[in-house]
Amino acid sequence: MRILLVYPGGTGTLPFGVPLGIASVAGVLRESDHDVSILDFRFEDEAGMREIVRRDDPRVIGFYASTDLANSVVRLGEIARSETGDACLVVGGPHATLDPEYFLSRKFDVAVIGEGEATMVELAAKLERGDSFRSIRGIAWWDGDGTVENERRPFIEDLDSLPLPAYDLFPNVAQTLSSNLFWSNLLPFTHVLVSRGCPFSCSFCQPTLDRMFGKRVRRMSPKRVVELLQFLESRFGVKEVFFEDDLLLSTATRGWLSELARLMSEQSVRVRWWAQARADSTDRVLLSLAKKAGCYMVMCGVESGSQRVLDFYRKRITVSQVRSLFKMCRELGLMAVAEIIYGAPVETKADIQKTRKLLREIRPDGISPCILTPYPGTYVYDWLVEHDIRFDTALDGLDRTVHEKRIDSPLSASYLRRLALSSVQTTPSLRLVLTRSYYRRAYLEKLHNLLSSGRFRKAIFLLFLSLPKPFMWLATLTYFRLARRLPFLVALKNLLKH
């Protein structure tokens, strides 16, 4: 059966990595002998979609729908329906799990609830045989008169049983692997997910995450993770990966991580990586194991320096634990990035000052700020409704960038914007490169990676950004004044254009 899977992220979406949900579903469908193709709207447009649908006439068109992409999915579904009358329109992802009626009332045939791999394989088999959808677990569907929601499908216990994600089916995979999230990332670079489930209840993402993957954590075996890294390394030349897992660096994974380190050493896997850590579930032994296995950077959800705000977020961590984690990273020679959320409805300027003070104390190697966004189905969203606090419920433009304030909170929109933008710390400074050996190693390895792969423009830009600001402005002024007079600067200027 011919199946088209669509990722609706627009041209404004960061072209980094591949959508892992679609990649995994594509892998299992291909393993079941279906003819699968992928349309990635980060590089495609509506006219291209019309042409592909008319040309290939897919029997199934499946869309990924996060909450911020829900309206785009509806619009693309209408286009698909206009080009093919009998294709089965399927939608999956967080918003389809959260609110299947939203799509089924807008001419979609099936909404996949929760994990989609086994469900999509069974759905395709039913369509081929012309069978009813009534026995398919894990879907809601339109039966002609209204919505029918079937029994939930159990979560996939053995993640090793899934084929490797179909990275190769993305037409622009090489371009996505040449984009980075942090200045130090070695290219080609991508992200992976080797576990599912989270036992915690942070108010900005739960219980939606539970509905998608459950509370109990399920992991690939270390052997399977090594196979995935070797595949990415040999097939696409990947030099670095980001483990998106919520709990990869946790004391509960100590034995798992030790085995991963052993296998990576035995099989000479050279891919370096970074991962997320909770401040309350990471210790020195675990971080040492991670470093031995190739980890060079840790990302921590600090969120706030105010314990009152942390408790509002249900983080179950303390400010003291945050200090301890960053201190351990520094002593072990691991870079550490702090994720911060501004704009909680209970947050005041006094809380902001505590966050600023904490950031000065922990001295993160990077700061990634955002403004709190109340996603439908989360505890934050329900709390705002319960307390009759005004907030923007529109799905259009819903995101967690530093430019949006969606909640009527004590802090003004302009103040939060300035605060978030001034907090961003993603580029290296010469002082840090000179004074921290682990920072210097990452910096020099990044430079070598760029130069050896012919990315001279990016290498020069990295050097430029490392200069102290007065020298940066002086270098810029001097360059433009002399560029017309000195031949080598003219050549450099022409090189930078390419």
Report the pLDDT value the prediction gives residue 363, as an integer from 0 to 100.
Answer: 92
> In this predicted structure, which of 181-195, 202-216, 346-360, 458-472 has the lowest mean pLDDT?
458-472
Architecture in CATH of 2-149? 3-Layer(aba) Sandwich (3.40)
Residues spanned by CATH 3.20.20.70 within the chain? 180-426
For 197, other C-beta atoms within 10 Å of its C-beta total: 18
Nearest to 297 by CA among 333, 324, 261: 333
Of all residues in the chain, the percent with pLDDT exceeding 70 is 91
CATH number for the domain running over 180-426: 3.20.20.70
pLDDT in tens, 36-47: 999 999 999 999
CA–CA distance, 392 with 400 (Å, rounded to integer)? 13
pLDDT in tens, 155-167: 999 999 999 999 9
CA–CA distance, 336 with 367 (Å, rounded to integer)? 9
Report the pLDDT value the prediction gives residue 470, as an integer from 0 to 100.
Answer: 60
Give the residue ranges of DSSP H helices in 32-104: 46-56, 70-83, 94-98, 100-104
- Check residue 490 and report its DSSP letter: H
Residues spanned by CATH 3.40.50.280 within the chain? 2-149
pLDDT in tens, 176-196: 999 888 889 999 999 999 999
pLDDT in tens, 249-303: 998 889 999 999 999 999 999 999 999 999 999 999 999 999 999 999 999 999 9
pLDDT in tens, 390-421: 988 877 666 656 666 778 888 988 898 888 88
Q: What is the mean pLDDT of residues 54-61?
A: 95
Torsion of CA 314, 317, 322, 324, to 10 degrees: 180
> What one-letter code names the amino acid at 87?
A
Nearest to 71 by CA among 109, 40, 43, 99: 99
Nearest to 287 by CA among 240, 245, 336: 336
**Tokens encoding 434:** 């000179």
Report the pLDDT value the prediction gives residue 73, as an integer from 0 to 100.
Answer: 95
Q: What is the mean pLDDT of residues 144-157?
A: 92
pLDDT in tens, 224-243: 999 999 999 999 999 999 99
CA–CA distance, 432 with 345 (Å, rounded to integer)? 35
Q: 3-class SS at 65? A: coil
Query: Structure pTM?
Result: 0.90
CA–CA distance, 58 with 36 (Å, rounded to integer)? 9
Provide the pLDDT confidence category of residue 435 given band limits of 50, 70 and 90. confident
Give the residue ranges of DSSP H helices in 184-306: 208-213, 222-236, 254-266, 284-292
Report the pLDDT value the prediction gives residue 437, as an integer from 0 to 100.
Answer: 87
Q: What angle do CA 193, 296, 446 make, to 5 degrees?
A: 100
